[in-house]
Structure 1
Amino acid sequence: MRTTGMGRAIAAGLAVLAALTGCTVQAPGEEGHRSPVRIELPDSTPSPLRSPTGDDRPGTAPAPARVLWSPGDTGRDVRELQARLRQVAWLFDGPTGTYDEATERAVSGFQGKRGLPRTGRTDTVTWQRLRGMTHEPGRWELYLMGGQPADPPDARCRAGRVLCIDKTSRTLRWMVDGRTVSTMAVRFGSRGTPTREGVFSVYWKSRDHVSTLYDSPMPYAMFFSGGQAVHYSRDFAARGYAGGSHGCVNVRDEQAIAELYAQVRNGDKVVVSR
């Protein structure tokens, strides 16, 4: 009886060992003289990776991030990308709406700083990281340096030769007999020195004018109301809508206003509307 009890105790101990180690236990005396404990070792060939769905098919490497925008692309989305890059000081020019070399360098720098592949192309991972660090740009962040679409012209601009100036869209249309000849971005006076609204006419042109009041250059000046004129502004060209005038209508594109200056005559109508 004592021997039988000891055998049962050994068998019970082996069962516990099997439960802990994953071994298979056989009763003593079965299958000839084989050891009562058989340890199953893992196969030398590793099992395939499980797929993300949980089945037993081999797993696949994650797909590369999808490219959203790359050099040469244009449009409003590229303009937003540039505005957000400006917010984190990776881009200083624009936004222009064109994915140029400066934008490519800015994206590459942003990627490298954050341990992402420096491709210079904006993929989904880069875009999500940039969005998480910036705020939704407003309209005048998107069009800081101009390029915004013009609103429909004021009804008073549809006849004759007219400088049709719109404060809402911040644009100037040069119109002749209802046809738009050219359009350009403009900015206006600050709160303390607003640009006057109404219907006026060009009464004096001065190609290399310098303001006697503010001692500042006003190239291609076309005066229409007191000391207020349409003219080129180097400050607008450099800072965009971050600045303002003393009441004049500033143009940032020097070539565009040079061509406009050559076409406008004294007596042509000027309409400033909101």
Structure 2
Amino acid sequence: MARHRRTSDRARTARAVLAPIGLAAVSAVGASPLALAAPTAPAPSAVGQGDAVPCTDTADVCVDLSENKAWLADDGVATGDAMTITSGSPADPTPTGTTTVQRKERHHVSQENRDAPMPYSIFFDDEGRAFHSGDTAGTSHGCIHLEVEDARAVFAALDIGDEVQIRQ
């Protein structure tokens, strides 16, 4: 993924349009009640393709553990519908925060968990935790389980170095 623009098209257009108007006009526009009304982001459970995700705009994949949802994202916008996930148990939780994709293995087998298959593994930490296809009805040992079709899509979309954000 990693297609983030440092300066958005919207910001470039705004600068091009507002520059000839002058500073006084810009501050008058900024003071209008409509300019002060911030758009409201949808609740995480309602986020779908084209909606803002509940992570920063640098995330290539956004995970909301409280909602059991994940999204592929570009510039803070979901590039597809929400994916149902399961995560770690209270005894073996999924870590939160920002990290990057470290490696990918299409046919990984767990060394820590009785040779359990972990198809479409995308590792995001040094402890062996990964996004992968798995049972989305129960908890994991700290990994993010996805339905098989979603795991394939995430595996295809993410590259090593892409940003992973996991929030509670």
TM-score for both structures, normalised by structure 2? 0.65
| Partner Cα separation in structure 1 for residue 63 and residue 55 of structure 2 | 12
* Cα distance, 1:155–1:255 mapped onto 2, change above 3 Å: closer
Cα offset, 1:249, TM superposition: 0.5
Percent identity at matched positions?
Answer: 31
> Is the partner of 1:207 in helix, strand or coil?
strand
| Partner Cα separation in structure 2 for residue 220 and residue 262 of structure 1 | 9
Cα offset, 1:225, TM superposition: 1.1
Q: Which of 58, 72, 77 is equivalent to 1:174?
A: 72
| Partner Cα separation in structure 2 for residue 196 and residue 165 of structure 1 | 11
| Partner Cα separation in structure 2 for residue 192 and residue 224 of structure 1 | 19
- Give the number of the structure whose residues are more often strand, by fraction: 2
Counterpart in the other structure of 2:34: none
- Give the number of the structure whose residues are more often helix, by fraction: 1
Pairing 1:197–2:96 present? yes
Pairing 1:217–2:117 present? yes
- What is the total number of aligned residue pairs between the two structures? 118
**Contact (CA 8 Å) 2:103, 2:123: kept in 1 or not?**
yes
Structure of greater Rg:
1
Q: Which of 127, 132, 135 is equivalent to 1:231?
A: 132
**Contact (CA 8 Å) 2:55, 2:76: kept in 1 or not?**
no
Displaced runs of 4+ in structure 1, greater than 4 A? none
> Higher RCO, 1 or 2 (CA under 8 Å, sep at least 6)?
2
| Partner Cα separation in structure 2 for residue 200 and residue 211 of structure 1 | 21
Cα offset, 1:149, TM superposition: 2.9
RMSD, matched Cα: 1.7
Counterpart in the other structure of 2:153: 259
Unaligned runs of 5+ in 2: 1-43
* Cα distance, 1:260–1:181 mapped onto 2, change above 3 Å: same
Cα offset, 1:155, TM superposition: 4.1
Counterpart in the other structure of 2:62: 164
